[in-house]
Amino acid sequence: MLEANFWQDKDNSKKVIKEKKLFEDLLNTYKVSIEQLSDLDDLSELALEEKNDSVKKEVLLNIKELRASVKKNEIKCFLSNEADPLDCYIEIHAGAGGTESQDWAEMLRKMYLKWADQKSFKSNLISEHKGDEAGIKSSTIKVEGDYVFGWLKKESGIHRLVRISPFDSGARRHTSFASIWVYPVVDQNINIEIIEKDLRIDTYRSSGAGGQHVNTTDSAVRITHLPSKIVVQCQNERSQHKNKETCMNMLKARLYDHEIKKKEQENQNTENSKSEIGWGHQIRSYVLQPYRLVKDNRTNFESTNPDKVLDGELDEFLEQSLYQIK
């Protein structure tokens, strides 16, 4: 930061300042925690000497609060991979099952948007295809904020819902599936080479809301990367040029994420992990009937309050996933 040309590269300076802030927050929080622990130790000794029960209770309460603060600091230490500080895209796809799965896909989209809102993160709808009767067939949202990808990177996979269907006149129990795919927004400093001849670019009429212009011109853009078969699309901008620019950024992000997965030696690549949205592949189950439980099948972490989870309170599940990272 002391270099003469540091501020000339705005993207790099922004990245460095963000990292500096994280490290300063970690150190400052650690120092404050040490001081608080020392104060509580002194106060505890005093309470024992004077046999003051009210002070003892106050010490215990403060210790719980201190443990929560230390845990938050600990979680930040797990967000140290190269892509963790980046913003992210979340793709949501309904599985087989028509209206049931499409409604479930929309519930998941709302869950992640509520989580982002609770974190004061910025979210934008990139593209969306509505369901035939209700819900969505697919949706892509962009979430911007500190270490968003680091928080959400383990959410990729199949999510399963069990409930009494609101669309079934017989009030029978249904199982629905939807897939989530999370990948980072590529930093401008990361060079991803894309060859023009490897792309197929299609334009089509936007199906979403947006006024007369959106509904009467072929402003939506779909780009297929032929070697990897990765497909990205955008329809939220009014101009075809801006939609194409967003698509190219998304494609770079997908290709970068694909390389990350290779380096991490994961068993499944992008297409394989999305190939089958159904039984035996789910990472998390949300059961609303005949009992109420949300269970992560990778960490075995559970919550008996699915309403809170679907309302965006995901932190405990995200934290457990971070602890599992090797």
* pLDDT tens column, 134-148: 999 999 999 999 889
pLDDT in tens, 74-99: 887 888 787 888 899 999 999 988 89
For residues 301-315, give the mean pLDDT.
96
* Contact predicate 185/87, CB 8 Å: yes
Topology of domain 85-326, CATH: Alpha-Beta Plaits (3.30.70)
pLDDT in tens, 8-65: 777 677 777 877 877 888 888 889 999 999 999 999 998 888 888 888 899 999 999 8
* Residue 69 pLDDT grade (very low, low, confident, very high; cuts 50, 70, 90): confident
Residues in the chain: 326
Average of per-residue pLDDT values in the chain? 85
For residues 100-126, give the mean pLDDT.
96
pLDDT in tens, 174-214: 999 999 999 999 866 667 888 999 999 999 887 654 444 44
Tell me what pLDDT residue 312 has: 97
User: In the chain, where are the structural domains located?
Assistant: 6-77, 85-326
pLDDT greater than 90 at residue 125: yes
Percentage of the chain beyond pLDDT 90 is 48
